[in-house]
Structure 1
């Protein structure tokens, strides 16, 4: 089986690549800025339809895992043209070539497709994004569903793990790196998330591929918690000084995109796969164990 990972040098792409390499698959990946050490890595700007077509026809992948996007929520709000060109137009190019090859498309989406008005959301609830980033993801979800392609749409929230030097940081590493040098860290008390340990997310993705599942899945951690409470748990697990945490409200940051609190239910994962996704303490214990080896 040939699998192509779009965005293979990103955080999620790298972790997916690492676990799938252990399977009996022929693995290919694309990158924009950082080439990984493999003859099966190819530079690709997904906005360039001709280049997408040339690569897809060369590889003839049976499964395409699309992890590439502009995920900076405020950048998407400030530069909608850029967000459209990458998140929407780029994904449209991938959909069209997936249709041409009859490939299965796995698309990484987000909790931001919802408006936060419900206490929790399952996979069948109606989307209604409040940010432009969320809007771009909603548009792509609908295009994939309307395409009639065999697909998986995996919505996640606040992914965290150890990263490579070239990759974007995350909330856990940001707090560790600030507090370990004894600097104060401002953390938000009115944002709530379901933090997701990336290797856990990747394990579920692998299981869904193995079982040939299709449709939408919420692949998120099992705890819904405020950012400040999450920061306190990070301090407890990594033996950091909680007194360096400064609680603030989100409106003090004056960000371009107004976030809403969205609680994604992951019950479908448990019901269909029998796997309970990690909570925060288990995820961070796994990080600590990983660092020891």
Structure 2
């Protein structure tokens, strides 16, 4: 199958390429001041998804049967303080992707977020009513609606807080950031009143490939098994990677007054995806142990 992945060097895009067990031919779009080497089943294109001419050229080369759209601006604070630039990436860019999916009759797998919820009515299922409290969540909800109204065959996947080894050129995630800080023996303040069920990136990618393989459509929540606070998660990370837990201090969200608002508990009910895919979510310790066994870049 011919697959186009946007955000091909991001945390999820990288994982999708690494878990391509059915050996689909992949065209991977990324945006950065670095070059990626093509592999046997992957070709990289350095393309801004908001550049419609360059994007159209990539679609013409790939002629994708499926587009997995992971690209966008996911930094919550950046989205809060730079609305126009973030909207261009998250909304306009997605509209461009959809236009070319229509032209090439491509099914779209759109990657959304738990940030579409306000954190007051957990656990959230696919039937829960979104109510975002920051710009990032509002943009992702708007793009979900655009996908649903596009007339395309679609999957909307909402991964929760994701972790794993990131591409060395891309921004750190919570686990790689924490490892870096603790290896440098830096003290860390971590909120103890924000809860999620963290998700290992390779497991997320495997789940998306399975959704594609059995030709599912619609909305799916993807998450890990364990609901924990960021502080509890940080302590577990330190323990698994044999780092100093005493450097981690619990604080409330009020400690970070200058940051964009975050929902307090967006943990998921994963009954739907467990039932339809016959899978079981991975616990954080098991996920971190799997991560520890794999090679960091």
User: What is the TM-score when the length of structure 1 is the normalising length?
Assistant: 0.95
* Within-5 A mapping of 1:52-201: 52-201=55-204
For residues 76 and 90 of structure 2, the distance between their equivalents in structure 1, rounded to whole angstroms, comes to: 12
Runs of 4+ in 1 over 4 A off after TM superposition: none
Which sections of structure 2, spanning at least 5 residues, go unmatched?
Answer: none
For residues 76 and 164 of structure 1, the distance between their equivalents in structure 2, rounded to whole angstroms, comes to: 22
2:12–2:70 contact (8 Å) kept in structure 1: yes
Quick check: 1:31 aligned with 2:30?
Answer: yes
Residue 246 of structure 1: how far off its partner (Å): 1.2
Residue 278 of structure 1: how far off its partner (Å): 0.6
Q: Deviations over 1:161-187 (max 9, x none)?
A: 112311211111222222223221111
RMSD, aligned CA: 1.5
1:275 to 274, 279, 282: 279
Aligned to 2:260: 257
The alignment partner of 1:229 has SS state of helix
Residue 31 of structure 1: how far off its partner (Å): 1.4
For residues 23 and 122 of structure 2, the distance between their equivalents in structure 1, rounded to whole angstroms, comes to: 42
Residue 255 of structure 1: how far off its partner (Å): 3.0
Which sections of structure 1, spanning at least 5 residues, go unmatched?
Answer: none
2:122–2:268 contact (8 Å) kept in structure 1: no
Residue 291 of structure 1: how far off its partner (Å): 4.1
2:195–2:229 contact (8 Å) kept in structure 1: yes
1:9–1:35 contact (8 Å) kept in structure 2: no
For residues 68 and 98 of structure 1, the distance between their equivalents in structure 2, rounded to whole angstroms, comes to: 15
User: What is the TM-score when the length of structure 2 is the normalising length?
Assistant: 0.94
